[in-house]
Structure 1
Amino acid sequence: MKCFVCQAELSGSKILLRHLRLVHGFVPGKNLRLKCVETGCGSVFGTFSGFRKHLHIKHTEQSDQNSDTIDNSETAEAEGQISSQTFDQIGSVGEVATTSVLLMSNKSTLDMCASAVAQLKVAGLSQSAVSGFVSSMEEIVFEIHSQAKDAALLCLPPHDIATKRKIENSIEHMENPFTFLNSEAKRKRLFTEKWGTVEPTEIVLGTRFDSRRNKTTGTFDQVVVTDKVAYIPILETLKAILQNRHLTDLFKPRHVPKEGVYFDLSDAAHFKSNPLFYTDKDALQIQLFYDDFETANPLGSKKGIHKLGAIYFTLRNFPPIFNSSLDNIHLCALFHAQDIRRYGFNSIIEPLVNDLKVLEIEGVKNPVSGSCIKGTIVQVTGDNLGLHSLLGFLESFGAQYCCRFCVLEKDRFQFVFSEDNPEVVLRTTEMHALHCKRLQDDSTLPHVYGVKRVCLLNSLKYFNTANNFAVDIMHDILEGVAQLEVKLVLQYIQHNFLSADDLAGRIHAFDYGYNQQKNRPPSVKLFGGSNDLGLNAIQSWCLLRNMPLLFGDLVQRDDKHWCLLLLLLQIVNIVFSPVLTEGMTIYLKHLIIEHHQLFKKLFPQKNLLPKHHIMIHYPQCIRKIGPILHMWCMRYEAKHKFFKTQLKSFKNITKTLANKHQSCMAMHWESFSQYRLTLGPGKMVELDELKGGMEMASKLGVDISERVYSVKWIKHHGTEYRPDFIICTEVACEMPVFYKIKTIAVKDENVLLCGTLMETLCFDDHYHAFTVRMHPDRILKSVNVNELCYFKPFDLQMKYGTTDSALHIVPYCHFMQM
């Protein structure tokens, strides 16, 4: 048996597994990856039990044939020199019993038990439930020790008293790992030592009187309540992140910059003009996010009372696919939402701002390189209400000046559709400073041009709220503009072409494809006073993208209502694109103008939403900060689920949840891996047995007889790939090149997708989809999953309600030739 880490040769599967635990420190967890390297086998497992079964079934001849026949010389040599190298070569538990090995074994066992208990805490179990589990396991281990002692004693002859005493003493002195975990204080101390947990601190905001029911008398008494913020020091979190040596490669540039092409924040104007990033390309780029969420039942009597506000951050130095993982979204502060009204946002973020000032001037030490790395905030994102609240703008979008990008009056939103219009005066740092000064000079002013208060973030050296160009396409479009306009178009279709039942039937019966089956809209609210359809953001996106295939057969190609929908789809494809050009921002500007003008023409009685107005700033925002897809709130809001599902104490809910979160994050980061790959069921085969094996062998640079792991499906960084999915490998002659997946194979860290070429016939504007067919030459191609032009797979779909058998691929972004 060979170890995949150090390539040491071991004498059986039991020894191999023990070697992985003791020498290399592998412990169970969601990021555990154990690789089999026997006879070219590349199978990867996420559990010790799965790895053990694989070795016994697939590699029986090497498994444990030598386990019981190790000669005494090996054992003697092992007892003489215990080290991680010599321990690789020794036998199982019975072959060596030195103090060093026992200590390693005890530590390994304790690590496994600690990880199991930590996973229970992460799953949301209460402290009492975890304590009960640990107590039960402690008794079980004691009983196992007793049974092991009795069984060992029965194997000895009655007269061997000395050996019996040795066995009794040895087993009595065996450590019970759960004894070190049988109280919350012990667990917290062990987790801190094991994972280096960044502990939250409590910042006192102030005290106040509150009415509390006296359980004895039944009356309400006035009690003093201390309001606190659970703050996680951002400098300590950054130090913990930088300690991980696996992250070194992720700090390196991910692409070659091209003039006029926006891949990331570093390609855009704001980054290039920032003095810190201009002089230090490796400076930490911190992106903040703020939002409120309910921790109690949102429909119950406690609604609003236990509503919390959270500030998260991510490092934009890392690629977006890395930051999409919830483990890489870090908590900064947790507080009661009502405290914003009581004390103001500046009081809440003061400790964060103080740490950021240190980061800007002194930096944090990189434990790997030994140098100090500086950093600052690059952008603050969130929904419109959250951003206005944090940055000091008016929270009312019915106010005269309700835009944080310009000082255009709200009634002009219905007529001005471009930043090129002279009426649109964009906010600048100088203008914002004047507005803040007026507020400070005259405290009676409620606001000045929409500026309600001075934001403490403006005291930072390298950040100003006037240069915050973050927009959220999730709330602006998917939960705002798109739902309003899809609702109006559906009402138009229902009024002219279909009954309400037939319309609902189409939406329900349509085949949205495997990738979108979880996001299909359950039902839509077509009537009522609201502007939405009653869908969440991802359901809204699913319905919007599929609207042309759903109802395109009913309307004429020159139908103006249909043109409005198609214009919106073109806008959505651009703003959801991960790569854009300068020319695309100009095209986007004209699309938005045309779209808004057509909306007012078709629905003169309807007012454009403030979110419609924010769209006119999208082209400038892209030029300032790059693709705005990286700013949306979808993944940040998914982070709220952790706090909502935890069992919690409402006496000090912020501290309770912050502690649980930090323990969870420490555990995840201890077993961090930048390779997030989940494999479905499969088997080891030679490449010549697979369809496309020759192409795969050529791609890997190996012989056709090489063995690979053929799987039914994979999940790569959370994105699932299966046979019959469609992937885009490149864009040629301004048309995407699609392949239909036939085979998925894994060799070492390489994931290969082999597919059959699809012929892209045209882009059908009316159905807003590419018309495709199988290429007559049946060309096969193998591509590494990391080399895909656009990482999301597609489905082959058909129009609804026609005999047309043409196949279509619905785009989710604008395809651009790199």
Structure 2
Amino acid sequence: MNWCCKMCKYETARKTELLKHYRLRHVHCAQILPCIYWECYCSFKTWASLKSHMTRSHSSYKAANVKDVLSFKCPCCTLSSITTEREYFEHIGRHLKKHETITCVFENCDFKTNIYGTFASHRTRKHTPHSLDDFKAELVHRHVNPVNVGDDPDDDEDIECGEGYDEERKELPSIIEANLAHLFLKLESISNVPKQCITEMVEELNFISSSASGPAMKDVLQSCFAKHKCQLDDSVITDIVTELCKSNPISQALRSDGPLSTAYKRNEYFKENFSVVEPVEYVLNARERRSYQYVPILKSLSEIFKKKEMQDFLMNSGKKAQNTETQYTSFHDGTHFKANKLFSENDLAIALNLYVDEFEVCNPLGTSRKKHKITAVYWVLANVPPLLRSSLTSIFLAILCKAEDIKQYGYNVVLDPLLKDLGRLEEDGLYIPSLGRQVKGTVFSVIADNLGAHSVSGFVESFSGSYFCRWCLGERSKLQDCEVRTGKFIPRIKEDHTVHVQTAQLSGFHSCGVKRQCPLTEKLKYFDVLSGYPPDLLHDLFEGVIPKEVALCLDTLIKKKYFTLSELNKLIREFPYKWTDKKDAPQPVPLNFAVKKTVGGNAHENWALLRLLPFIIGTRIP
């Protein structure tokens, strides 16, 4: 019987080899670890929880897996030589794709269908989880393998996988070393522990694992030898303890000449053993020491697509969704995406979303305000599922530059190395060895707040002027006269925008709100400036329109004496918030909200208030 990895389809005849493969290949890079048994749908976040599950749930199943040879009989045809459950359901699926009627294969279930999706849905809803005992008896046969107990190499092996094998023992120090390196890297990059603190921790751990543990180890050895009536000289026991401390893999990794003892050595270890893409410094002005950092995007993409799951995301995103014209599941169903020639003409294409934002390194209210403000450009692979795009592990850094340097030198200069790499991605593509082909890609959209979007795209950065919209030619003086949906505001089109850019370049003044050419449009032939900067819902709605509208509504309800402001704030404080709403619970409404015409709050708090307000005050409103 072969064991097959659920994550990369690696096959082996031994369970211990599969567990060893899990530890070496997937424990440190996968977010979840599925159980190695194909009929078990449990998954875990850590190696320890997976081991605990297998000890509890599959210790008695070991004999059935190794000692018994299974054969499944198809309920539709005469085939009875299928030996794995996975192949069994794949075979049934082929019958269903031919619209042949299949009766459910599980005991006490008479469900019938000739539709593949219906059968899969029924199996998931009604028979998950299940075991071999749940199948109909006439469809599963167990043939005892004539192998004597003790002949099977998996009989006496522990779930720790590989204990007793010389090969595994040789790899154990490197595995422990890699685990420690991962731990220190997480402390530094995720928990923001200073490097000096990590170095002190390494020194203490080295002392504990070597010198400090010696006396305790010596006492244990002496008591063990005495128990078994072994007489050894004290000097011999001391030598044994010394050798054990020296050969301890943890001590070898943490000792003063080890690879993880200092911050410099740890960084070198990360570069050598982990997938590190180092940033490149570009000098803006050598005399004034003006520079910025760029992380090469093509190298980052090459490292990303070495992972099997990322290749699967790319392949699945290239499949055309069978949706109606009125059904939207993601931006792939939108007209702007379908109008892009690169995405519409290629079955596989890399879609990228860029993020542009500014942040303060120092206190934004102190004397250092704006002195150390940083402009960052991030990117996200849009081929991954929507649920993963907002995860921090899916967001990658491209550029870090001081905001004042951006203003002085412009986005054309700072974005130049990024746009050159993206131009090569459009023209030549990225070679993915596992797919055996070049895959082209481009930027689909640039996400930023309104000020950032207008700064990059070349529109005016003042929103009090006449032409302040990057989608239409509506003037501010006409905003109160008509609605956008009336059609009186002329939308911007590509031909007019080209004329506005040329006029602005010749005159030196903005033309209909356009100051200059967008650097992305200038360097990338598949990027459209008019559709490539989507609205900023967070600032426009949750920190713009919504707090004002909620303030107007609450002011009216208070004036009608349905409740007072103090009663409202008491209801907001005492509402039983759940899950993420606990962290983003709305703040009390300020006393001067009616004058300011806003309830304040950040985007997450206003989103929670908007959703939960009917439940908070609903009983008070007639």
> In the TM superposition, what are the counterparts of 1:639-718 in structure 2 within 5 Å?
none
Residue in structure 1 matched with residue 519 of structure 2 by the alignment: 456
> In the TM superposition, what are the counterparts of 1:404-553 in structure 2 within 5 Å?
404-422=470-488, 424-443=489-508, 445=509, 447-459=510-522, 460-497=524-561, 498-511=563-576, 516-525=581-590, 527=592, 530-552=596-618
Name which of 81, 105, 108 aligns with 2:175: 108
CA contact (8 A) 2:377 2:398 kept: yes
Name which of 292, 296, 303 aligns with 1:229: 292
Change (3 A) 1:148 1:43: farther
Residue in structure 2 matched with residue 266 of structure 1 by the alignment: 332
> In the TM superposition, what are the counterparts of 1:384-399 in structure 2 within 5 Å?
384-399=450-465
Amino acid paired to 1:234: I
* Alignment pair present for 1:187 and 2:266: yes
Residue in structure 1 matched with residue 101 of structure 2 by the alignment: none
Name which of 281, 284, 291 aligns with 1:202: 281
2: CA distance, partners of 1:22 / 1:59: 17
Q: CA deviation at 1:142?
A: 2.6
1: CA distance, partners of 2:201 / 2:388: 35
* Alignment pair present for 1:345 and 2:411: yes
Mind listing any 5+ residue stretches in structure 2 that lack a counterpart?
Answer: 6-10, 63-149
Change (3 A) 1:112 1:407: same
2: CA distance, partners of 1:174 / 1:507: 57
Q: CA deviation at 1:361?
A: 0.4
Q: CA deviation at 1:472?
A: 1.8
* Alignment pair present for 1:139 and 2:207: yes
CA contact (8 A) 2:163 2:169 kept: no
Residue in structure 1 matched with residue 438 of structure 2 by the alignment: 372
**CA deviation digits over 1:458-483, x for unaligned, max 9?**
11111131232511222111111111
**CA deviation digits over 1:468-515, x for unaligned, max 9?**
251122211111111111111111112222332233333334455666
CA contact (8 A) 2:20 2:161 kept: no
Change (3 A) 1:254 1:149: farther
> In the TM superposition, what are the counterparts of 1:307-386 in structure 2 within 5 Å?
307-386=373-452
2: CA distance, partners of 1:30 / 1:113: 17
CA contact (8 A) 1:22 1:105 kept: no
> In the TM superposition, what are the counterparts of 1:3-152 in structure 2 within 5 Å?
5=5, 20=20, 24-25=24-25, 27=27, 31=31, 33=33, 35=35, 44-50=43-49, 96=164, 98=166, 100-122=167-189, 123-143=191-211, 146=214, 150=218
CA contact (8 A) 1:512 1:546 kept: no
CA contact (8 A) 2:349 2:439 kept: yes
Q: CA deviation at 1:292?
A: 1.1
Amino acid paired to 2:434: V
Residue in structure 1 matched with residue 126 of structure 2 by the alignment: none
Q: CA deviation at 1:450?
A: 1.1
Amino acid paired to 1:35: C
Tell me the SS of whatever aligns to 2:541: helix
Higher strand share goes to which structure? 1
CA contact (8 A) 1:383 1:472 kept: yes
Change (3 A) 1:461 1:138: same
CA contact (8 A) 2:33 2:47 kept: no
Q: CA deviation at 1:303?
A: 2.7
CA contact (8 A) 1:479 1:532 kept: no
- Comparing 379-388 with 139-148, greater Cα deviation is found at 139-148
2: CA distance, partners of 1:257 / 1:106: 52
Residue in structure 2 matched with residue 287 of structure 1 by the alignment: 353
Amino acid paired to 2:311: T
Change (3 A) 1:22 1:87: farther
Name which of 164, 171, 177 aligns with 2:253: 177
Name which of 369, 373, 397 aligns with 1:303: 369
Percent sequence identity is: 29
Tell me the SS of whatever aligns to 2:513: coil
Tell me the SS of whatever aligns to 1:248: helix
Change (3 A) 1:353 1:28: closer
Q: CA deviation at 1:49?
A: 4.5
CA contact (8 A) 2:425 2:442 kept: yes
Name which of 324, 344, 357 aligns with 1:278: 344
Residue in structure 2 matched with residue 797 of structure 1 by the alignment: none
Change (3 A) 1:480 1:344: same
**CA deviation digits over 1:674-710, x for unaligned, max 9?**
xxxxxxxxxxxxxxxxxxxxxxxxxxxxxxxxxxxxx
CA contact (8 A) 1:291 1:386 kept: yes
Q: Whose relative contact order is higher, 1 or 2, with alpha carbons under 8 Å and at least 6 apart?
A: 1
So what's the TM-score if we normalise by structure 2?
0.72
CA contact (8 A) 2:253 2:261 kept: no
Q: CA deviation at 1:134?
A: 1.7
Amino acid paired to 2:45: G
Amino acid paired to 2:586: P
Number of equivalent positions: 510
2: CA distance, partners of 1:328 / 1:389: 25
2: CA distance, partners of 1:327 / 1:32: 14
* Alignment pair present for 1:240 and 2:303: yes
Tell me the SS of whatever aligns to 2:514: coil
1: CA distance, partners of 2:210 / 2:161: 19
Tell me the SS of whatever aligns to 2:355: strand
CA contact (8 A) 1:22 1:108 kept: no
Amino acid paired to 2:181: A
Q: CA deviation at 1:425?
A: 2.0
Change (3 A) 1:481 1:164: closer
Amino acid paired to 2:282: I
Change (3 A) 1:50 1:551: closer
CA contact (8 A) 1:25 1:108 kept: no
Q: CA deviation at 1:436?
A: 1.6
Q: CA deviation at 1:269?
A: 1.9
Residue in structure 2 matched with residue 250 of structure 1 by the alignment: 313
1: CA distance, partners of 2:492 / 2:155: 66
2: CA distance, partners of 1:458 / 1:42: 47
CA contact (8 A) 2:453 2:533 kept: no
CA contact (8 A) 2:454 2:460 kept: yes
CA contact (8 A) 1:19 1:88 kept: no
Q: CA deviation at 1:417?
A: 0.9
Tell me the SS of whatever aligns to 1:414: coil
**CA deviation digits over 1:254-311, x for unaligned, max 9?**
7313224332223222222222122113211111111112222333332322221111
CA contact (8 A) 1:479 1:540 kept: yes
Change (3 A) 1:151 1:537: same
Q: CA RMSD in A?
A: 3.9
Tell me the SS of whatever aligns to 1:310: strand
